[in-house]
Amino acid sequence: MLPKLIINKKKFKHNLDHILNVAHKQGLTIMVVTKVFSADQNLVDIINLSSADYIADSRIENLKSMKTDKEKVLLRIPSISEAQDVITYSDISLNSELKTIEYLNNVAIENNIIHKVILMLDLGDLREGIFYIDELLKTVKEVIKLSNIVLAGIGTNLTCYGGVIPSATIYDKLLNIKEEIVNNFGISLQIISGGNSSSLDMLLNRKLPKGINNLRIGEAIVLGRETAYGDYLDNMYNDVFTLEAEIVELKLKPSIPIGEIGMNAFGKTPKFDDLGEILRGIISIGKQDVDHNEIIPFDTIKILGSSSDHIILNMNDTINHYEIGDTVLFKLSYSSLLSLNTSKYISKHYV
């Protein structure tokens, strides 16, 4: 069935093992993040057989459905309304609200379970995390009193909303805060979680300060790139996932529409370049499945646009020869991978 995602398990395993190796050599543990491929069990099985220290997802539904013996980490700040599932289906959750942690404690008591939390600190990226040190110390003080919650560590998330790039200065701040907690409360903190794929440049160049002992990595493993600068990484595949779509129409037609131009199907007024008559292809995949700006053709094809169920291509200058029924291959970005993995119209094929 087309369109389909082609998933190369060997390449996934290669990327996974490479990151785990580099991290373990420097004494860091890794939470392998499965959200970008909706915790596909075929890939979770590969993680299960690897030396991954933890498995992590932002959705409790994904943690619930996956089969694994690894410690499970919930990445998105838990909702009070899902507290029962958080306690049942995750071993560790990332948190920033005392009220929620107290709630988790109550549910953990009812279930006779010990749940671990990592307190998230906002070091400037302005997504999740406690921003002010006063609030942090107050939260720690209360959390360590809770009978069924263990404060497993602290963490931060960077380059997600504000685009803030990890640096030695930012990490020194995190490590100073760790010292302050340890000294104030006489406790030890097992996990100091420094971030996501945007910390890989520092990891690979051995620039992460000692004391940062954990990273949460998703994108780098599936796309072979770090995310602070968007650079592709050496010795990593960037085509673990490819998209294959079928050509359903292929005709020579003009490059500008004929007639008065009003709105398109999405209420926008489109603009066109006049390239004369060109060979135009239509593939059977559309906005419902993926944003056409987020897929990259392997062949010299230009993507002209899309509607709900069609993507329109300029196939005038292709290297390969195509006919109706042939397929076109695309490389993917993070957001196209996310949307294709959650579209029910896309089938999956493993090689």
Give the interface with ligand PLP as residue ranges (CB under 6 A).
33, 35, 58, 75, 94, 157, 196-197, 216-220, 227
Q: Which of 304, 303, 298, 306 lies closest to 330 in space, CA to CA?
A: 298
**Minimum distance, C-beta of residue 221 to ligand PLP, in the bound complex (Å):** 8
Measured from the CB of residue 346, what is the shortest distance to ligand PLP in angstroms? 20
9: annotated active-site residue: no
> Toward ligand PLP, which CB reaches closer, 166 or 281?
166
- Classify residue 287 by burial, with Cβ atoms within 10 Å: 0-12, 13-18, 19+: middle
Minimum Å gap between C-beta 155 and ligand PLP is: 8
Catalytic residue among 4, 10, 25, 35: 35
- Beta strands 214-217; 29-33: pairing state: parallel
Nearer to ligand PLP, 188 or 335 (CB): 335
Query: Which amino acid is residue 199, in one-letter code?
Result: S
What is the pairing mode between strands 149-156 and 277-283?
Answer: unpaired
In this structure, are residues 307 and 335 in contact, taking their beta carbons and an 8 Å threshold? no
Provide the minimum distance between the beta carbon of 61 and ligand PLP in the complex, in angstroms, as a whole number. Answer: 15
CB 130 within 8 A of CB 122: yes
Is residue 111 within 8 A of residue 87, CB to CB? The reply is yes
Q: Which is nearer to ligand PLP, 58 or 284 (CB)?
A: 58
In the complex with ligand PLP, the residue whose CB is nearer, 136 or 245, is 136
223: three-class secondary structure by DSSP: helix
Local structure of 86: helix, strand or coil = helix
User: Closest separation between CB of residue 31 and ligand PLP, Å?
Assistant: 7
Residue of closest CB approach to ligand PLP: 218
189 touches 180 (CB < 8 A): no
Which is nearer to ligand PLP, 15 or 197 (by Cβ)? 197
Q: DSSP states of 290-329 as a string? A: --GGGEEESSS-EEEEE-SS-EEEE-TT-SS---TT-EEE
Catalytically active residues are 35
